[in-house]
């Protein structure tokens, strides 16, 4: 930490001065996310996939689908698990080995956004109640890290799940058997989209780059659904938000999120 | 998850919740400061059925050494549930949930603790959940800031924790376990009452923008109530005669 301290302080002063003139280091508006490109179906062996580039941050998400034994208390619902990892190729500070708390947080926030939105109607993913259900696993691999991995993983997961194809299974002798070549559409109910904002001084910046990320005071990730409701939220960083700031952030997230949702929808149309 | 199905009546026709509370009422909160002999500061908190012990050690030398910072002290937090704290025995190793909660509590306390006064040192906050009910992260955060104050660490403010949420289509204060499981949304809040800043905020579940605003409003109200109990715990410890 202390190695970069003087540089960090200089950088912070410079970024703050620019912000006071209404400018960001890369010339964006405060409420403007970086350019987002989404390609779906990039991994044909996965039942769903998406490569997302958000500025220079890149994430590949893959969906694998297989029958699972349900948890005892949720035998009437399918299973959905999202994870995220930062590959060591993504950044010089990325490490192999057990995940650090920030990576655990990334994975859990990604999962929460998809899960709590009720993106998939899990009741439609049951093969036989209490015995066998469809398990959907969406794993995010961060391949290049230029800040705001939360949103990149959110978009990659939503785009990959939205465009996945669920293989058809039938119960034969109490066992699920795959029917080759037959697929169904995923039971999508809504498209969750997260928007992360950094607080630097009194400024709120949408989609911070790694430079802004390294000097921010606090951050907040707010996920909204297709109806413009708030479905998940995570505050982070070593400062707080006022009540007014939190309301402004939620409004910003819903506004910016609706534009990003269109890009996710378009990616599916282009892919098909 | 927009209404998990259940048989429990979360809110009856008179607006009374499953544990007998009104919608804008917190559970009973009691806090005692200075309960451990060895720790530099400590607190025991009961927040409804949550029972949590918090011990603070430091400022002290940092091990491993490379974690130390020549410019400031560092805060380290561990939120941990003992195996017998929940219905089904919990594996004692820290889960991913506990790692995440430890991180958000650390980031909720950092704005309050004046760590620059103690460069090269660490302040360790250990939160041991002996019995868990809904809202244990808010309870642990509340107890931790009392324990930090009890340790004599300079602070800008206390951080009080209380959740708001939505169950049976009503906005409720201080979500309990049943309401968390079967309700529609849970929004834990950590708040510094004097600086008027929210330092912990998470959300599970669907809220309209209007409901979100209401939840923050009512949650801050709950934190202010919890703050009075925190102050009283510290008064009882340092001014026992009630001066």
Question: Are the beta carbons of B195 and A240 separated by less than 8 Å?
Answer: yes
Phi, psi of A271 (to 5 degrees): -70, -25
Question: Are the beta carbons of B100 and A1 separated by less than 8 Å?
Answer: no
- First-residue to last-residue Cα distance in chain B: 50
Q: pLDDT band for position B6 (50/70/90)?
A: low
* Ordered structural domains, chain A, with CATH: 12-271 (3.30.230.70)
Model pLDDT for residues A100-119, shown as the tens digit of each residue: 999 999 999 999 999 999 99
Q: Which residues contact B163 (CB under 8 A, 6 or more apart)?
A: B134, B135, B138, B173, B174, B175, B186, B187, B188, B189, B219, B222
Question: Are the beta carbons of A235 and B102 separated by less than 8 Å?
Answer: no
Residue B72 sits at the chain A interface (C-beta within 8 Å):
no
Q: Which of B171, B205, B223 to mutate to test the interface with A (most CBs of A within 10 A)?
A: B205
Model pLDDT for residues B125-168, shown as the tens digit of each residue: 999 999 999 999 999 999 999 999 999 999 999 999 999 999 99
Phi, psi of A267 (to 5 degrees): -60, -35
CA B215 to chain A, closest CA, distance in angstroms equals 11
pLDDT of residue A5: 62
B202: nearest CB among A117, A235, A243? A235
CA A178 to chain B, closest CA, distance in angstroms equals 29
The ipTM value here is: 0.87
CA A202/CA A105 separation, integer angstroms: 25
pLDDT of residue B222: 98
Q: pLDDT band for position A9 (50/70/90)?
A: confident
Smallest CA-to-CA distance from A83 within A29, A21, A4, A149 is with A149
Q: Which of B96, B157, B218 to mutate to test the interface with A (most CBs of A within 10 A)?
A: B96
Model pLDDT for residues B193-231, shown as the tens digit of each residue: 999 999 999 999 999 999 999 999 999 999 999 999 999
pLDDT of residue A272: 62
Overall fold of domain B29-238: Ribosomal Protein S5; domain 2 (3.30.230)
- Asked if residue A49 has pLDDT above 90, the reply is yes
Residue A101 sits at the chain B interface (C-beta within 8 Å):
yes
Phi, psi of B184 (to 5 degrees): -105, -25
Q: Which residues contact A181 (CB under 8 A, 6 or more apart)?
A: none
Model pLDDT for residues A60-84, shown as the tens digit of each residue: 999 999 999 999 889 999 999 999 9
Model pLDDT for residues A121-175, shown as the tens digit of each residue: 999 999 999 999 999 999 999 999 999 999 999 999 999 999 999 999 999 998 9
Q: pLDDT band for position B242 (50/70/90)?
A: low
Q: Which residues contact A163 (CB under 8 A, 6 or more apart)?
A: A40, A41, A48, A50, A267, A268, A271, A272
Q: pLDDT band for position A271 (50/70/90)?
A: confident
Question: Are the beta carbons of A230 and B207 separated by less than 8 Å?
Answer: yes
List, in sequence order, every beta strand (DSSP E) within B34-110: 41-47, 50-61, 74-81
Smallest CA-to-CA distance from A48 within A184, A149, A195, A179 is with A184
Residue A105 sits at the chain B interface (C-beta within 8 Å):
yes
Residue B7 sits at the chain A interface (C-beta within 8 Å):
no
Question: Are the beta carbons of B206 and A230 separated by less than 8 Å?
Answer: yes
Residue A230 sits at the chain B interface (C-beta within 8 Å):
yes
B112 close to B155: Cβ distance less than 8 angstroms: yes
């Amino acid at each position: 930490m202390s190695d970069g301290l003087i540089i960090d302080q200089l950088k912070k002063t410079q970024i703050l001065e620019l912000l006071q003139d209404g400018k960001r280091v890369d010339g964006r508006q405060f409420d403007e996310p970086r350019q987002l490109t989404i390609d779906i179906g990039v991994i044909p062996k996965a039942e769903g996939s998406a490569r997302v580039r958000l500025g220079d941050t890149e994430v590949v998400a893959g969906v694998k689908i297989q029958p699972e034994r349900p948890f005892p208390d949720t035998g009437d619902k399918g299973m959905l698990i999202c994870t995220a990892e930062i590959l060591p190729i993504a950044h010089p500070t990325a490490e192999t080995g057990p995940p650090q708390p920030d990576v655990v947080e990334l994975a859990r926030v990604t999962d929460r956004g998809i899960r709590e939105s009720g993106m998939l109607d899990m009741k439609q993913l049951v093969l036989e109640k209490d015995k066998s259900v469809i398990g959907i696993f969406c794993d995010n691999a961060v391949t290049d890290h230029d800040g705001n991995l939360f949103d990149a993983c959110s978009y990659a997961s939503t785009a990959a799940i939205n465009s996945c194809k669920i293989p058809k299974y039938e119960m034969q002798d109490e066992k699920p058997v795959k029917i080759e070549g037959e697929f169904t559409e995923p039971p999508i109910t809504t498209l969750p989209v997260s928007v992360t904002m950094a607080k630097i001084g009194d400024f709120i910046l949408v989609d911070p780059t790694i430079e802004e990320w390294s000097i921010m005071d606090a951050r907040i990730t707010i996920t909204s659904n297709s109806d413009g409701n708030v479905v998940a939220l995570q505050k982070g960083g070593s400062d707080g938000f006022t009540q007014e700031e939190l309301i402004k952030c939620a409004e910003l997230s819903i506004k910016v999120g609706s534009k990003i949702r269109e890009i996710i929808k378009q990616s599916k149309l282009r892919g098909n | 998850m927009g209404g998990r199905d259940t048989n429990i009546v979360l809110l009856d026709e008179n607006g009374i919740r499953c544990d007998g509370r009104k919608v804008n009422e917190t559970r009973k909160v009691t806090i005692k400061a200075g309960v451990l002999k060895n720790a530099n500061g400590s607190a025991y908190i009961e927040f409804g059925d949550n029972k949590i012990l918090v011990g603070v050690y430091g400022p002290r030398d940092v091990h491993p050494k490379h974690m130390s910072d020549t410019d400031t002290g560092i805060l380290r937090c561990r939120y941990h549930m003992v195996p017998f704290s929940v219905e089904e025995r919990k594996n004692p190793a820290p889960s991913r949930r506990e790692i995440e909660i430890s991180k958000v509590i650390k980031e909720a306390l950092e704005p309050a603790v004046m760590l620059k006064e103690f460069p090269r040192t660490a302040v360790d906050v250990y939160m041991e959940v002996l019995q868990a009910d809904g809202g244990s992260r808010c309870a642990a955060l509340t107890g931790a800031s009392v324990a930090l104050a009890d340790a004599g660490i300079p602070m800008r403010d206390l951080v009080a924790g209380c959740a708001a949420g939505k169950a049976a289509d009503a906005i409720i204060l201080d979500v309990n376990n049943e309401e968390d499981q079967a309700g529609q949304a849970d929004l834990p809040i950590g708040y510094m009452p004097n600086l008027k800043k929210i330092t912990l905020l998470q959300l599970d579940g669907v809220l309209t923008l209007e409901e979100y605003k209401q939840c923050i409003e009512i949650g801050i109200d709950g934190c202010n109530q919890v703050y009075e109990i925190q102050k009283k715990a510290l008064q009882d410890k340092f001014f026992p005669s009630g001066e």
